[in-house]
Amino acid sequence: MKRDQDIDLPDGRIFVGGEWEAGNGAEIRSVFPADGSLNRALRGASREDGLRAIARAKAAQADPSWRGLKPHQRARHLHAIADGIEANAARIAFIQSRDTGKTLAETRALAASAAGTFRYFAAVAETWDEALTAQRGEALTMSVHEPLGLVAAITPWNSPIASDAQKVAPALAAGNAVLLKPASWSPLVSLELARIVEAAGLPKGLFSVLPGAGREIGGLLVTHPDIARVSFTGGTETGRALARKAAEKLMPVSLELGGKSPTIVFADADMEQALAGVMFGVFSSTGQSCIAGARLFVQRSVFDEFVGRLVEATKRLKVGHPFDPETQVAPMVRREHRDGVAAMVSAALAEGATLLCGGAAPEGSDFEAGAYYLPTILSGVTNEARICREEVFGPVLVVMPFEDEAEVVSLGNDNEYGLAAGIWTRDFPKAWRVARALRTGTVWINTYKQFSISTPFGGEKESGMGREKGRAGMLAYMAQKAIYADLSGAPLPWARL
């Protein structure tokens, strides 16, 4: 096997309806966040490229070679994609680490998860049962599902292969064609996925990968009359703008948006378990995670002790190069994103926050050219502070004390977002009560950031709408149809024949 560093990056062509073409859109630069070096400069898709991809997808989706497949036959294609991802796991991990700066340990796990997602939705397609509904007259009544036709998937830069798979797999499993628009900071791994889908032998044209400007290519996909649904993961403001456009053509959208998730440590928690979980929850992926547990509430009687240990352990986290197996905190995706995070920390300090650790880029020549930032803990603010309201999308944790269960439920819910939450306690009935009272899409009890493809994921409030994953995750990509079939053999009486 090639050493990781010898793996070739995708050549910069884009995948337009089954053809590898040079894009005609604006230049996109994929940069290695560890040192700022250029991975690849490529031309993104232009509007005309997008229109060509849509026309090819339409023809491919309508063709009996795809449209006529039985679900178990479609499932074979999905398994072939999963095989391709598994066979190319090292390549995918390397490319994604180059694109995003994530550690290889994390990108290997994301590649494995993407393969699992294709296998899961292959199984869902094969085992999907349609319903004979309760008959109320002289007709057999049925509920069946059809493909929507053309589906667009728009994804962010933070976990591209996993978020791509979460949309592409159920959409293909349901019999659609898919047009994927990755984020401009991380186009390469999605182009690698295109290579794998192509090798898996899906009908030509059924899948496209169209890196490009959000407004132009994303906008085209949202507004084009042939696109029947958009599944979007990204920031809340982008999602809101997109949903407004979708409303114009009465198109449903799935929105997986931002978060500002609370984690709650009760005095009766297992402190080691809570420490490890809180740190993983906010500092893994360098905090660039929609579900980052960014607001920490610690019960007052253990606040000083817990926060003291947390700060000491956080200072010991290994910040380093994405290819160093010891690294826990890798660079952020881009220097401009790192600088934005640093500016939010500075603003919090100016508003009276106390810096307990971090708050700067690490020192030393190893870090100078990269987008590094130290894991940062702030205290001394209330839940009203801007740093507690706005998504930072970086390794920044705010710690606050609380008195009792009722207060912490109210604090946890007092936020525009509602994506996830963590609860740390040995008292299970209490954990259950709090889990049920928090208005978030996911709650973890004595653990954090654990995922299963069979468990639905999505947000409440400004964290989005709709759910991905789980058997029901495929429903978003299917049109439900009722069929009535007469059993009487007689003319309807109204005509009085």
Active site residues: 167, 256, 290, 468
What does the buried/exposed string (b/e) look like for 464-480 if buried means 16 or more CB atoms within 10 Å of the residue's CB? bbbbbbbeebbbbbbee
Closest distance to ligand NAD from the beta carbon of 313 (Å): 25
Residue nearer to ligand NAD on the CB measure, 183 or 209: 183
Binding site for ligand NAD (CB under 6 A): 154-158, 181-184, 214-215, 218-219, 222, 233-235, 238, 241-242, 256-259, 290, 391, 393, 419, 459, 464
Residue nearer to ligand NAD on the CB measure, 207 or 393: 393
List residues bridging with 144 in a β-sheet: 481
Residue nearer to ligand NAD on the CB measure, 182 or 293: 182
Q: Which has the closest alpha carbon to 157: 193, 185, 191?
A: 185
Q: Can you tell me the distance from the alpha carbon of 420 to that of 483, in angstroms, rounded to the nearest whole number?
A: 39
Residue nearer to ligand NAD on the CB measure, 200 or 294: 294
Closest distance to ligand NAD from the beta carbon of 194 (Å): 15
Closest distance to ligand NAD from the beta carbon of 145 (Å): 24
Closest distance to ligand NAD from the beta carbon of 222 (Å): 6
Residue nearer to ligand NAD on the CB measure, 163 or 299: 163
Closest distance to ligand NAD from the beta carbon of 212 (Å): 8
C-alpha dihedral sign at 151, 156, 160, 163: negative
Q: Can you tell me the distance from the alpha carbon of 12 to that of 44, in angstroms, rounded to the nearest whole number?
A: 9
CB 383 within 8 A of CB 411: yes
H helix or E strand, kind and range, residue 315: helix 300-315
Residue nearer to ligand NAD on the CB measure, 154 or 189: 154
Contacts of 397 (CB under 8 A, 6+ apart): 278, 282, 283, 293, 294, 296, 375, 376, 377, 378
List C-alpha distances in Å: 343 to 30, 332, 360, 383.
24, 14, 10, 19
How many Cβ atoms from other residues are within 10 Å of residue 354's Cβ? 12
DSSP conformation class of 363: P
Q: Give the amino acid at 131.
A: A
Closest distance to ligand NAD from the beta carbon of 411 (Å): 21
Q: Can you tell me the distance from the alpha carbon of 392 to that of 395, in angstroms, rounded to the nearest whole number?
A: 8
Quote the strand ranges of 80-203, DSSP E: 131-132, 139-147, 150-154, 177-181
Considering just the CA atoms, what is the radius of gyration of the chain in Å? 24
Closest distance to ligand NAD from the beta carbon of 84 (Å): 23
Q: Token pair for residue 340?
A: 């934005």
Residue nearer to ligand NAD on the CB measure, 205 or 258: 258
Residue nearer to ligand NAD on the CB measure, 43 or 77: 43
Q: Give the amino acid at 430.
A: K
Closest distance to ligand NAD from the beta carbon of 154 (Å): 5
Q: Can you tell me the distance from the alpha carbon of 446 to that of 454, in angstroms, rounded to the nearest whole number?
A: 20
Phi, psi angles (nearest 5°) of residue 269: -75, 155
| Residue 481 Ramachandran class (φ > 0 left, ψ -120 to 50 alpha, else beta) | beta
